Amino acid sequence: MKDTKKKNLIIPILIILIIIAIIGTIVFIVTANKPEKTVEEFFTRLKEGNIEEAKKYIDNYNDLFEEEQEEQENTEEDFADVLNNEENQKLLFTDIQTNIKEVKKEGNTAKIQVELTTKNFKTIMTNYINKIIQLSMSTVVGGENLTQEEINNAIKDYFIEELKNESIDKVTTTQEITLNKKEGKWIIEANDNLRTLIYPGLEEAFQEITNQLS
Distance (Å, rounded) from C-alpha 119 to C-alpha 171?
6
Domains of the chain and any CATH numbers: 33-213 (3.10.450.50)
Taking only the tens place, the pLDDT of each residue in 20-61 is 544 444 434 444 469 999 999 999 999 998 988 999 999 988
Q: What stretches in the chain show pLDDT beneath 50?
A: 21-32, 68-76
List Cβ<8 Å contacts ≥24 apart for 21-25. Answer: none
**H or E segment to which residue 182 belongs:** strand 170-182
Burial class (CB in 10 A: 0-12, 13-18, 19+), 74: exposed
This prediction has a pTM of 0.73
Q: Strand, coil or helix: what is 173? A: strand
